[in-house]
A and B are shown apart, each in its own frame.
Chain A
Amino acid sequence: MQEDKPVTISVKDLDLWYGATRALNKINLDIESRSITALIGPSGCGKSTFLRTLNRMNDLIDGVRIEGSVRYDGRDIYAPETDVIDLRKQVGMVFQKPNPFPMSVYDNIAYGPRVHGIQDRSVLDEIVERSLVQAALLEEVKDRLHKSALGLSGGQQQRLCIARVLAVEPDVVLMDEPTSALDPISTAKIETLLEDLKKRYTIIIVTHNMQQAGRVSDKAAFFLTGDLVEYSTTKDLFFNPKDERTENYISGRFG
């Protein structure tokens, strides 16, 4: 049934170096659309680095070199003619720590649409409301839309960041350990939200939390020291690991 879903992102023979250090080895991975893919693995295994190659956030770091191809919608995103701004509009990202801008809740969400040229107040109002509804935040912030976003709780801030990404109407949402800085209740809210978002967006989530990966993802990829060790449906990966290293990690022998 899952094989029916079309492929959104296709990664072939991806190598990545930080200077002389090789951080990713020949990664081959196809991401299916309208599903949640979890990237798991111990710290420093390259899963976050991999995630950041998908919207070219690694461009910002000096000395990063990439080989191989990453195709999004059939186009190579590392081709010279690719518009990075356009790519990031399509492939949004939520970070590990909530990073709302030091401005009002409303302005935070309207930031993306504004930089992409939407100035009409009524259109912006609509986008802000829709994004807040999608991020399940509207009820909590509707009375303080024009107050600073820094006054929200950590969980609310993270959902605001999600709403901020959704406001740009992306196709893919990358999430880099989005709940690692949050308490269990906020985490649960975001996990519920993910279930909902999956219907409209392709989600790739990096997580340290095995239970979370098991709960929310459809497919899972296990990374270890820059290698993609195993990639299959979450069920198979957790209950039928083919590789010994995967089994050891899952059963908690290391990591």
Chain B
Amino acid sequence: MRSEGSAASRKHTASVRSQAAAFFVIRALSVFTILILASILSFVLWKGLRYSNLYRSEYMPIEESSPGGMAIVVNVEQDMESLDWTTLYGMFTDEYINWAKIDGSDYDLQPVAVDPVSSEGTAAEAFLFGSPEAGGVPLWGDLVRTAGSVEEALNIVSSTIGAVAVVPAEAVLSRQGVKTVPLRRVVLAVNPGVTEFVENDQIRDLTRSETREVAEGKVGSWKAFNGPDIPVVNLAPPPGSDLDRLLRESGYTVAGEPAADTAGYVRALSETGGAAGYLFGLERNLAGLPALVQSGRDTGWNLTLRYLVEAPRLSGRVGGISTIILNTVFMLILTVLFAAPVGIAAAVYMVEYARQGRLLRILRLGTETLAGIPSILFGLFGFIFFVSVLKFGFGLLSGSLTLTLMILPTIVRTSEEALKSVSRALREGSLALGASKLQTIGKVVIPAAIPGILTGVILAVGRAVGETAALLFTMGSDYQLAKGLFSSSRALASHVYLLFAEGISFDRAFATATVLVVVVLVFNFTARSLIRRMNRNRSA
């Protein structure tokens, strides 16, 4: 008896144990699945919210608001944080014709120079091109507009978005309509031998801290950075010079023997093998010395309010996505307007009127199959039928009609289920009062099924908003605001796809993707609360 009892209890323990194990496996799997989904979503959201970009520049992060007593002024509307000396030089030598590559805005560039006959003009010329005694040659570009005086130059800048001028710093102090842009102009110049190729290898990009370590004399040989096997020779700028003062103020320490004067400093840099020393961009240019390139990552906010409210420009490279959001809304409104009435009518027919037989079963199988067909097929059909045969062209109408075809099966099936679930008692109650079948359907059955029907429509719209394949060849890809039904336009999902596919910007693609995710979430939550409110009204 006793042994039997213990055998039974052993069996019992074993089954409890295996149950616990099964439970653990199921739990672990479900937690794992949720973790994967959550990490994908948070990855997209994180990439969308924060950018992390590679930068590559010769200039040290030392910003001067009045470099050499001058100020770089732009119109107050211009959205600029800082400028480096090479860019500034390029602006006055016809390197740029607009601001797109400088700060992403699409204003025309208008460089303004004060006439060099005045002393202010001469100072600006010397600041940009070097004084004649130092070997500077004025190379003013053709775009440059000459102003008679500093006052006139500032007037031009304050009245023209896109204008830029170099004027004495004190002239800008209490000036409305213009703003000063800080300049970065310090590089770590090196002897030309340092950047030469050695056995197919060249000195690599440094990080900012590595650059500082070189200047502080902490690096023995250039070989440490893949360069030639030459010892690093540190040179220091002449004490009391502008450069020396700026470096001290900015907390940069410099190793090496200070030079006697600037000319001697520059000469030493170009003549000493393995030499390295901080230098202003202008002097570096005049001496034709190479500088070390620094690269790394910049991070900041990716999805900003500006991105949401600005119109896209240059294929979405600059600007925002406001027009694309609006186009998406137009597209969804049109799609729902086309698809919902037709889909609900078809469902009503199938539930209420059609003879429940073989034909209806085939019809149902057909709609279910259509719901599972890849959307690119709908895109092909839409392209042939709406765009070519009906000659609607690429545009909102063709796109919405294609989406309508794509989501109709979903709407029909869900509406059908919703209508079927309306109780027989309600129908009979209405019919017994002498209502006709049509009145019963319109006044009792459809209102009772509305929450279910709406759920179906929302699900279908969720599918439509994320669609790209069906839209690329039907709705077109113009990123301007749609001007009408036949106007080619781009929706959010297509924009994400094109930003990726055309290699325009991953950051922007992720920012757009985040907006898309939020749009879908907003849709779902409104639908849910709508349905919940409806149900509450019904039962209270």
Contact = CB atoms under 8 A, between A and B. Distances in A.
Contacts of A85: 434-436
B274 to A, nearest CB: 88
Interface stretch (B109-117, B127-135, B423-431): B423-431
A116 B434 contact: yes
Nearest to B436: A85
A161 B428 CA distance: 12
A151 B447 contact: no
B439 A115 contact: yes
A60 B539 contact: no
B432 interface: yes
B538 interface: yes
Interface in B415-449: 423, 425-436, 439, 443-444, 447-448
Contacts of A101: 426, 429-430, 444, 448
Given A102-B448, A148-B538, A88 B433 contact: yes
Interface in A71-96: 85-86, 88-89, 92-93, 95
A189 to B, nearest CB: 20
Nearest to B450: A102
A55 B432 contact: yes
A92 B434 CA distance: 8
Contacts of B433: 88-89, 92, 111-112, 115, 164-165, 168
Interface in A150-166: 150-151, 161, 164-165
Given A111-B433, A148-B537, A151-B539, A99 B447 contact: no
Given A97-B425, A115-B443, A88 B539 contact: no
Range class of the A interface residue count: 20 to 34
B439 to A, nearest CB: 5
Contact of A95 (B425, B434, B439): B425
A57 B423 contact: no
Interface in A193-217: none
Contacts of B538: 102, 148, 150
Given A102-B448, A115-B443, A150-B539, A60 B428 contact: yes
Contacts of A112: 433-435
Q: Which of A57, A101, A164 has the most CB of B within 10 A?
A: A101
A161 B431 contact: no
A150 B447 CA distance: 14
Q: Which of A88, A115, A164 has the most CB of B within 10 A?
A: A115
**Majority secondary structure of chain B interface residues (helix, strand, loop or mixed):** helix
Contact of B434 (A60, A115, A150, A151): A115
B453 to A, nearest CB: 14
A26 B537 CA distance: 48
B443 A111 contact: yes
Contact of A99 (B425, B435, B436, B539): B425
B449 to A, nearest CB: 10
A103 interface: yes
A101 B428 CA distance: 11
A235 interface: no
Interface in B89-132: none
Interface in A55-71: 55, 57, 60
Contacts of A165: 432-433
Contacts of B431: 57, 60, 88
A151 B433 CA distance: 22
B357 to A, nearest CB: 11
A115 B436 contact: yes
Contacts of A168: 433-434
Contacts of A102: 426, 447-448, 538
B448 A89 contact: no
A142 interface: no
Nearest to A83: B434
Contacts of A93: 428, 432
Contacts of B434: 85-86, 88-89, 112, 115-116, 168
A88 B429 contact: no
A26 B202 CA distance: 109
A57 B435 contact: no
B31 interface: no
A147 interface: yes
Nearest to B534: A102
Contacts of A60: 427-428, 431
Interface string B396-432: 0000000000000000000000000001011111111
B356 to A, nearest CB: 8
Contacts of A164: 429, 433
A103 B540 CA distance: 10
A92 B433 CA distance: 6
Contacts of B432: 55, 57, 88, 92-93, 95, 165
Q: Which of B434, B443, B447 has the most CB of A within 10 A?
A: B434
Contact of A115 (B425, B428, B435, B448): B435
Nearest to A100: B429
A97 B429 CA distance: 10
B153 to A, nearest CB: 73
A156 B539 CA distance: 15
A86 B428 CA distance: 16
A16 to B, nearest CB: 18
Contacts of A89: 433-434
A150 B439 CA distance: 21
Interface of B: 423, 425-436, 439, 443-444, 447-448, 537-540
23 contacts: A55-B432, A57-B428, A60-B428, A85-B434, A85-B436, A88-B434, A89-B433, A92-B432, A95-B432, A97-B425, A99-B426, A99-B428, A101-B430, A101-B444, A102-B426, A102-B447, A112-B434, A115-B439, A148-B538, A150-B538, A150-B540, A164-B429, A168-B433
Chain A to chain B: the 9 pairs with minimum beta-carbon distance, closest first: A89-B434, A99-B425, A93-B432, A112-B433, A88-B434, A115-B435, A99-B429, A102-B538, A115-B439
Given A101-B430, A115-B439, 13 more contacts: A85-B436, A89-B434, A95-B425, A95-B432, A99-B429, A102-B538, A112-B433, A112-B435, A115-B436, A148-B538, A151-B540, A164-B433, A168-B433
